Amino acid sequence: MIKRIGLLTSGGDCQALNATMRGVVKALATMLNEHELEVYGFDDGYKGLIYGKYRMLTSRDFSGILTQGGTIIGTSRQPFKLMRVPDENGLDKVEAMKQTYYKLCLDCLVILGGNGTQKTANLLREEGLNVIHLPKTIDNDIYGTDMTFGFQSAVNIAVNAIDAIHSTAASHGRVFIVEIMGHKVGSLTLESGIAGGADIILIPEIPYDTKKVIEAIEKRAKAGKRFTILAVAEGAISKEDAKLSKKEYKEKLIERAKKYPSVSYEIADKITKKTGQEVRITVPGHTQRGGEPCAYDRVLSTRLGAGAAEAIMEEDYGCMIAIINGKIKRVPLTECAGKLKTVSPKDQTVKAAKMIGISFGD
């Protein structure tokens, strides 16, 4: 009996997508005979599934990609809220995805992606397709799993950026801001900031008071410290802005963009005006998504991929393959789709950071 599976990677890329697909296919190939597995890769995420753009993949495609970043089948962002909206030619995207699935007689569609990707995976499950989701995101914000692949690799890159800033910050006696990815969730900034020895960490879940931030900088200066390093999440928000409605905050962001490229530049401007200190900003940006996956992610991806293969062999679909307390588990999509895992201000990691003197501006 031939097993036919589809693979697609959707949303922002990260370092361990290839390693995870490799885990799925190599595990299935080991459990099946040579001619019992057919693998179809969909080009550029859900676009490939919608428009029937795919290719058959062989074992050769998965050789030598454990250490390769990005994704060999391409990716794209397809907002979940637009999945039920016909395209510019009036095409029903959901119906088109189903037709492609049935045309290829797939036994299962393995979907690698973050929160939006997962919501669409759950939509396809509701439409009767056999799907398995694998949790990918550098933000580690997927509910129902302790860790996502891509996160640790991104942490390592962000930490390298902060490490490199230390020497120049100390030499010139400046305030440096390193802006880390993360619009809604601060896990990446939190762990990178602690590991990199940042003095101040600002994340979306803990609104900051600019006065408190400046106090922390001045306290270091009085103690004879020549520099201060801030790790700031893209989505860091002030206490004043946190009180605004969603509509008001959106309007505020539009106005801010006319003057500042991001929140870090606004914070830097306020620090300079208040203290007179020079502030420099470093934005690692998409380097955090690039390069080789770290050793941790290679192992995690292999385990998650093998876990997906096992679920396929057991025909247990409609789930996310997660790691919980060090064990690979299957979490029903009904329990995790549409939920966001955020950093609790009472988290032990936050508590430990505060205990060693790191300021969160609160």
Q: What percent of the chain lies above the pLDDT cut of 70?
A: 100
Residue 34 has pLDDT above 80, yes or no: no
- Per the structure, the complete domain to which residue 217 belongs is given by 155-288
Q: Report pLDDT for 318.
A: 98
Asked, for residue 97, whether it belongs to a domain, the answer is yes
Choose, from 44, 61, 139, 199, the residue flagged as catalytic: 139
Do 248 and 187 lie in one domain? The reply is yes
Q: Report pLDDT for 190.
A: 98
Q: Report pLDDT for 35.
A: 82
Domain count, the chain: 2
Asked, for residue 347, whether it belongs to a domain, the answer is no
Residue 201's CB: how many other CB atoms inside 10 A? 29
Provide CB contacts within 8 A for 305, sequence distance 6+: 19, 20, 21, 22, 23, 24, 25, 26, 27, 134
Do 55 and 132 lie in one domain? The reply is yes
Q: Report pLDDT for 178.
A: 98
Do 244 and 224 lie in one domain? The reply is yes
Q: What is the dihedral of CA 144, 145, 150, 152, to 10 degrees?
A: 130
Average pLDDT of span 55-84: 93
The domain that contains 196 carries what CATH number? Answer: 3.40.50.460
| pTM of the entire predicted model | 0.94
Average pLDDT of span 163-173: 88
Residue 208 has pLDDT above 80, yes or no: yes
Q: What is the pLDDT of residues 260-286, one digit of tens each?
A: 999 999 999 999 999 988 899 999 999
Last residue of a domain, one of 254, 288, 322: 288
Do 25 and 65 lie in one domain? The reply is yes
Q: What is the pLDDT of residues 75-108, one digit of tens each?
A: 998 999 999 999 999 999 999 999 999 999 999 9
Is 61 in the active site? no
Do 256 and 281 lie in one domain? The reply is yes
Pairing mode, strands 200-202 and 228-233: parallel
DSSP 12: S
**Integer Cα distance of 256 and 234 in angstroms:** 13
Residue 33 has pLDDT above 90, yes or no: no
Average pLDDT of span 47-66: 95
Do 282 and 301 lie in one domain? The reply is no
Q: Report pLDDT for 174.
A: 87
Asked, for residue 173, whether it belongs to a domain, the answer is yes
Which of 21-35, 97-111, 143-157, 194-208 shows the lowest per-residue confidence on average (mean pLDDT)?
Answer: 21-35
Mean pLDDT of the chain: 95
Q: Report pLDDT for 62.
A: 95
Q: What is the pLDDT of residues 122-143, one digit of tens each?
A: 999 999 999 999 999 999 999 9
Do 236 and 310 lie in one domain? The reply is no
Q: Report pLDDT for 334.
A: 97
Do 218 and 137 lie in one domain? The reply is no
Q: Report pLDDT for 320.
A: 98
- Dump strand ranges (E) for the chain: 3-9, 37-42, 54-57, 108-113, 131-135, 175-180, 200-202, 228-233, 279-282, 319-324, 327-332
Do 123 and 192 lie in one domain? The reply is no
Do 304 and 281 lie in one domain? The reply is no
- Closest among 280, 257, 286, 256 to 268, alpha carbons compared: 280
The pLDDT confidence band at residue 172, using thresholds 50, 70 and 90, is confident
Do 61 and 93 lie in one domain? The reply is yes
